[in-house]
Structures are given as structure tokens and as C-alpha cells.
Structure 1
Amino acid sequence: MNGQRPADTLDADRRYVRVRREREDGFIEFDFAIGDPDVFVELVLRRDALADFCAANKVELLPAGTAGGETDDWTWRLADARDTRFR
């Protein structure tokens, strides 16, 4: 190999954050991904802690919206279950 990564190789140096919701209690719900913005974990932090988290991880901010840009029966988040099932 010539020292370059193939296009389909996961780049673990790239980090992503997509803000989902700013809550009234001062917490921010967001998605955090490493290498692939479509594979993420859902996290919650206060605004100042999120700013520190983003700086420490050198994240790329993604626009709000659905991961992958599509919605269907398979596109849902844990927060969706909380909002519809546990009220």
C-alpha cells in the first residue's frame, strides 16, 4: 500500500456531534460518532460540558436531522421510544 487509507476504511480520528435537542433543564441531547456519523451513541450533557467535550474530541458538528438523511420504520432513536412510550 502507498501509505493512504482505502476510501472504505473507518477513520477513527474523525469525531462527529449532532445536537438533537436543547432541554428546558439546561441539558443538551446529542449524538456522538467516531469514524462514521451514521453509527452513533446518544448522550446528554450540560451546554458548558458539551463545549468542553467537543473541544477535547475535536468534533465536526453535523446539521440537525436524521442520521443518513432518511426516515423509515428502521430509523428511530432511544429518545423516540422515551417520548412516545414512557410519558
Structure 2
Amino acid sequence: MPHGNIEQPKPLDVTERWAQVTGAHGRFVLFNFVVADPDLSVDLILPYKAFTEFCATNRAVLTVEPGAAAPFERLKWLSKDADGERTQARNEYTGQKRVSR
């Protein structure tokens, strides 16, 4: 039986990786991690800091679904703790003064 022109699948480039944020819940990022092909994906949930480390380690390109943009931006803002940024903002909101150490 002749095989004709059967198209061979193109090789997958496993260095191509994406993290598509689908939402945020509490301090967690909900995202879809894709390797090489959208059919090779897994849904994951990580705390924000672990998520950023995961993306850096895997060299994943970050994308955010439109419906997840506002919750994700809020989570990023809440996760900022360097130089007391989050603490100061919280204290300004509650009317408390920031205490210098």
C-alpha cells in the first residue's frame, strides 16, 4: 500500500515556553504553562514569588489573559515588599504612620 505524501510532524522546540496567567486568587497566580506546543500544557497555581521564580527558571514568556490583567496587577502590587513599599501603601490607606527602623 503506497504511503503517498504523508506530512511528517515538525520537531518541537522545547526551549519555547509560555506562562499564560488566567487569574489570581488570594496570593496565588493561576496560570497555564506551555512547552513548545499549546497541546503540551498544564494548569498550575503558585504563590506570586514562586511564580516569578518559576518563570525565570523556565525562561517562560509571560502572557496575561485580558480578564486576568486587573487581578494579576493587584497581586503584583500586593506582593511588592522591597523597601517597605507595600507596608507604606497599606499604612497610608489605614491612616497609620510608617515607623522607621
Bucket of the pairwise TM-score, normalised by the shorter protein: 0.5 to 0.7
Matched, 1:12 2:6: no
Runs of 4+ in structure 1 over 2 Å off = none
CA distance in 2, matches of 1:54, 1:35: 15
Percent identity among equivalent residues?
Answer: 33
CA distance in 2, matches of 1:50, 1:39: 19
Q: Which stretch of the first structure deviates more once superposed, 32-41 or 42-51?
A: 32-41
> Are residues 8 and 62 of structure 1, via their aligned partners in 2, closer, same or farther at CA, if it must alter by over 3 Å?
farther
Match of 2:55 in 1: 54
Q: Where do residues 1-87 of structure 1 align in structure 2 (5 Å cutoff)?
A: 8-23=10-25, 25-64=26-65
Q: Greater share of helix residues, 1 or 2?
A: 2
Unaligned runs of 5+ in 1: 1-6, 66-87
Unaligned runs of 5+ in 2: 1-8, 67-101
- The one-letter amino acid paired with 2:47 is R
CA distance in 1, matches of 2:62, 2:13: 16
Structure with larger Rg = 2
Alignment RMSD: 2.1
CA distance in 2, matches of 1:62, 1:37: 13
Q: Is the 8 A contact 1:16 1:37 kept in 2?
A: no
Aligned length: 59
Q: TM-score under structure 1 normalisation? A: 0.59
